[in-house]
Structure 1
Amino acid sequence: MTAGKLNTFVWLHPSQGAALRSIARANAHAEAEWIASERERLGIRPDQPTPESIRLEAFALRPGTWPTASHLVETAMRRRLSAPDLAGPWPPFTPDERESQRLSGRRPGTPNERFTDKVAVDIAPDVIASAQLAAYRISQPVVAQLRAENLIGPSASRSRAARVRREELQSQIFTVGRIAREAINRLTASQG
């Protein structure tokens, strides 16, 4: 885990995970080639360690030149969160709302989409907090509508019409995962 970052799992469709990993692998390969060329330029033998100065320079260049999956996802999420539909401004969480964010499990109304791949990434806490707040504020009226129409909860209507309406409303729900997946989709589309 990177210092100052939150280790986060993002559940993805396999194609999204494969595309993200492909970009990250290509970046890691380019970084390794750069380090090898620097070693060669300095005449460092294969049995000698890479000097700290080269390692530090590679580390400093990595986020902008050879971003890892974590760098890619964090940057893509920042871009996605700056889009007009997510940018806010949003009222901050109340103490009760903030406490509810700590609860485990699915949020009310989260779509029943299936994801079979996951990626572990280190993301800055401010990005996660912004995504949580945007997702909550955007989804709040939709979740209220789901409750008002008795479409979620233990006594929810199970009729065909109710299922169709629930799915229609659930498609409007935002989660941190959805924001990350949309960000990854935009990233991989721009790289392809």
Structure 2
Amino acid sequence: MTAGKLNTFVWLHPSQGDALREIARKNVHAEAAWIADQRERLNLGPDDPTPEAVRRKALSLRSGTWPGASHLVEASMRVRLAAPDLAGPWQPLTPDERETQRLAGRRIGTPNQHFADKIAVDIAPDIIDAARLAAYRVSEPVIAQLRAENLIGSGASRSRAARARREELQAQIYTLGCIAREAINRLISS
């Protein structure tokens, strides 16, 4: 885990995970080729250690020039969170809302989606907090509608029409994972 970052799992469709890993893999190979070029420029033999100056330069270039999956997802999430539909400004979470965010399991009304792949990425805490806040605030009206139409909870209507309406509304609910997947989609399709 990268210092100062939160290790986060993001559930994806296999095609998303494969595409993201391929971009990260190409960046690893590009960095290795750059280091090999630097070693060749310095006439270093195969057993000679790579000089600290070269390693430090590679480290400084990594996040911008050869980003790994964590850097790619974090940067893409920053862009996604700046989009008008998620940018806010949002009221901060109340203490009760913040406590509810800590509960295990899916939030009330969250779509029951199935993903076959997951990645572990290290993301800055401010991005995680901003995504959770945006997802919560964007989803509030939809969850209120689900409650108003008696579509969630123990006394929820179970008719076919009610299930269809619930699924329609649930598809509009945002989660941290949804925001990350949208960010990854933008990254891999660009």
Q: TM-score, normalised by structure 2?
A: 0.98
Give the C-alpha shift of residue 42 in structure 1.
Answer: 0.7
Residues 1:126 and 2:120 aligned together: no
The equivalent residue for 1:168 is 168
Aligned length: 190
Give the C-alpha shift of residue 155 in structure 1.
Answer: 2.3
The equivalent residue for 1:42 is 42
Decide which moves more: 77-86 or 142-151.
142-151
Residues 1:151 and 2:187 aligned together: no
Give the C-alpha shift of residue 154 in structure 1.
Answer: 2.3
Match runs of 1:91-106 below 5 Å: 91-106=91-106
Matched residue SS, 1:128: helix
Per-residue deviation, residues 138-157 of structure 1 (Å, max 9, x unmatched): 00111111122121122221
Give the C-alpha shift of residue 180 in structure 1.
Answer: 0.2
- Taking the aligned partners of 1:80 and 1:154, their CA distance within structure 2 comes to 35
Name structure 1 gaps, 5 residues minimum.
none
- Taking the aligned partners of 2:121 and 2:145, their CA distance within structure 1 comes to 33
The equivalent residue for 1:67 is 67
**Divergent runs of 4+, >6 A:** none
The equivalent residue for 2:13 is 13
- Taking the aligned partners of 2:162 and 2:41, their CA distance within structure 1 comes to 68
The equivalent residue for 1:52 is 52
Match runs of 1:72-87 below 5 Å: 72-87=72-87
Matched residue SS, 2:146: helix
- Taking the aligned partners of 2:56 and 2:151, their CA distance within structure 1 comes to 55
Matched residue SS, 1:10: strand
Matched residue SS, 1:113: coil
Percent of residue pairs bearing the same amino acid type:
75
Partner amino acid, structure 1, of 2:113: E
